[in-house]
Amino acid sequence: MTDKTLVSYEPASGEELWRGLHGDVDAAVSVARRGWPAWAARSIGDRIAVLRAFSNEVRRESEPLAELIAREAGKPLWEARSEVDAVVNKVDISVQAYAERTGKKKFDSGINGSAAVRHKPHGVMVVLGPYNFPAHLPGGHIIPALIAGNAVLFKPSEKTPAVGEALVACFHRAGVPEDVVQLVIGGPDEGKALVAHPGVDGVLFTGSANAGIAINRKLAANPGKIVALEMGGNNPIVVIDTPKLADAATLIVQSAFTTAGQRCTAARRLIVKDSVFDDLMAELLPLTRKLMVGDPLGEPQPFMGPVIDNDTADRLSESFLALMTGGGRALLHMRRTVPDLPFLTPGIIDVTDIPDRPDIELFGPVLQVIRVPDLDAGITEANNTRFGLSASLIGGTPDDYGRFWANIRAGIINWNGPTNGASSKAPFGGIGLSGNHRPAAYYAADYCAYPVASTEMDQPRATIGVGLKP
């Protein structure tokens, strides 16, 4: 242990919530290296039973855990509860994914006996978690990694260490050995040391594109190290002709402002066909004004809580102002409701007239609107980004959606659904700056184990048929 202390604060009150010492990366890695062979040698049935016990443990702890998530991440309790449910459900989904994606296959190889494909764990995996889903998204890496037989070093976001600690405690109480899942508290220094450590076999990351690229760069000379990057997006929601504009407005609000916009899959850009613009705004603006922003534990429950901290709120406000100075027209101003606390009301800004719109992820409740003449222009505009995580089309015909699906570059493409709330039963990831083609969720199994191909006979049996002297 070092003597550096990490402190986390409740976004809604600014009060200290948790403090703890930074972890010792070298020590944690050597404990994990000693621990993983025994875990890997246990039968798959045995490991699954332990993970099911974890799922029960989380279910038992669901209320205190949801409350802790609400306090530390600032998301409303109703939403924190659904995060806990997602953690519970992750186990069954990952068990099934393990079997389907990385299970055993045997086939007859004729004269060569039988052939088999089996999977082995990589060894020691580092999981670097985000603050927006401080339990569910790390769980989405940790659970499949453990099922596959890896040891895990989990460094939660420095903004949500308390939830990280609570999650790891559930693994331990369920029977995952202490040397197989370890909590490593720390900030960027510990993160970098974990990534670069020669005793680490893989890095499973969820967070910003900048941090993900830094990981890639650091590991450029280590092609054997598994790197799974789930990064951000500048996600488009495209609205064309539909008789159901009230529903369209609801989908936009859910996409842009759930979790105060702090989802990698949140809609950042609303791309609207000119002919529906006025009628859509007549639904969207009043609905957005009605959204309650407030205390995550308050009653009645708000739609959204604060963003994660004051720095983030300051940066978002500055970005909103910069868009306005650059030629954007505020349709709904983003306001700071309590001085010195990071509560922001949702902001909507028409940026159609900004010539060079910045292609960055504004990770908060800011929705940029771009007007276009038709669907083709909408598709071009939607693809006008280096990111490619999620995209939705609202309205249109099956043919329109066919064209949208075929031409949009993203890992999640929806029709008449929100950009966020992706199912854990599907692969989850994006292209471009959104990821590195190692999708998580259902396909997390793929990066948690590597395939081994074998041909096998119980006795040596071989002949040389051609080219032997008599």
Amino acid at 323: L
Q: Toward ligand UN1, which CB reaches closer, 23 or 411? A: 411
Closer to ligand UN1 by Cβ: residue 65 or 422: 422
278 Cβ contact list (under 8 Å, min separation 6): none
Residue 400 vs 446, nearer CB to ligand UN1: 446
CA distance 55 to 146: 13
Active site residues: 230
Structure-token match 């370890």, residue found: 182
From 181-189, 289-297, 373-381, 416-424, give the range in contact with ligand UN1 by CB under 6 A. 416-424
Closest CA to 239 of 106, 414, 440: 414
Helix, strand, or coil here: 136?
A: helix
Give the nearer residue to ligand UN1 in terms of CB position, either 140 or 186.
140
User: Does residue 82 bind ligand UN1 (CB under 6 A)?
Assistant: no
If binding is defined by CB under 6 A, does position 424 make contact with ligand UN1?
A: yes
Binding-site size for ligand UN1 (CB under 6 A) equals 11
Decide: 319 and 351 in contact? Cβ < 8 Å.
no
Q: To the nearest whole angstrom, how small is the minimum distance from the Cβ of residue 167 to ligand UN1?
A: 15
Q: Could you tell me the CA-to-CA distances from 341 to 299, 315, 468 in Å, in that order?
A: 19, 13, 85
Token pair listed for 468: 């032997």
Residues linked to residue 117 through DSSP beta bridges, in sequence order:
105, 453
Residues 272/280, Cβ–Cβ less than 8 Å: yes
If one asks whether residue 265 binds ligand UN1 (CB under 6 A), the answer comes out as yes
Angstrom distances, CA of residue 323 to CA of 272, 350, 369, 469: 18, 9, 11, 83
Distance CA 395, CA 389 (A): 20
**263, 268, 269, 273: which one binds ligand UN1 (CB under 6 A):** 263
Closest separation in Å from C-beta 332 to ligand UN1? 23
Closer CB to ligand UN1, 27 or 426, in the complex: 426
Site for ligand UN1 in 123-152 (CB under 6 A): 140
Query: What is the closest distance, in whole angstroms, from the C-beta atom of residue 233 to ligand UN1 in the complex?
Result: 10
Cβ 254 to ligand UN1 shortest distance, Å: 10
Beta strands in 231-360, from DSSP E residues, in sequence order: 235-239, 267-273, 329-332, 347-350
Residue 428 interacts with ligand UN1 (CB under 6 A)? yes
420 binds ligand UN1 (CB under 6 A): yes
Question: Considering the rule CB under 6 A, would residue 281 count as an interface residue with ligand UN1?
Answer: no
Q: Which residue in the set 293, 422, 445, 449 belongs to the binding site for ligand UN1 (CB under 6 A)? A: 422
Q: How far is the CB of 184 from ligand UN1 (least distance, A)?
A: 21
CA distance 24 to 330: 48
Near ligand UN1 by CB under 6 A, which window of 57-65, 107-115, 372-380, 415-423? 415-423
Question: Which residue among 142, 252, 272, 440 contacts ligand UN1 (CB under 6 A)?
Answer: 440
With contacts defined by CB under 6 A, name the span among 282-290, 314-322, 414-422, 461-469 that binds ligand UN1.
414-422
Q: Sign of dihedral through CA atoms 59, 62, 64, 70? A: positive
Of 6 and 422, the one with the shorter C-beta distance to ligand UN1 is: 422
- For 325, other C-beta atoms within 10 Å of its C-beta total 8
Q: Residues 393, 400: contact at Cβ < 8 Å?
A: yes
Contacts of 146 (CB under 8 A, 6+ apart): 39, 47, 50, 51, 152, 171, 176, 180, 181
Question: Whose Cβ is closer to ligand UN1: residue 186's or residue 411's?
Answer: 411
Distances (CA, A) of 124 to 35, 54, 416: 9, 20, 41
Contact segment (CB under 6 A) with ligand UN1 among 21-29, 293-301, 418-426, 457-465 equals: 418-426
8 Å CB contact between 329 and 350: yes
Q: Which stretch binds ligand UN1 (CB under 6 A): 186-194, 207-215, 290-298, 420-428?
A: 420-428
In this chain, which of 82, 421, 431, 450 binds ligand UN1, going by CB under 6 A?
421
Over the window 338 to 377, marking each residue x when it contacts ligand UN1 by CB under 6 A and - when it does not, the resulting string is: ----------------------------------------
Piece of the chain touching ligand UN1 by CB under 6 A; list 10-18, 58-66, 312-320, 422-430: 422-430
Which spans of this chain sit near ligand UN1 (rule: CB under 6 A)? 140, 263, 265, 420-424, 428, 440-441
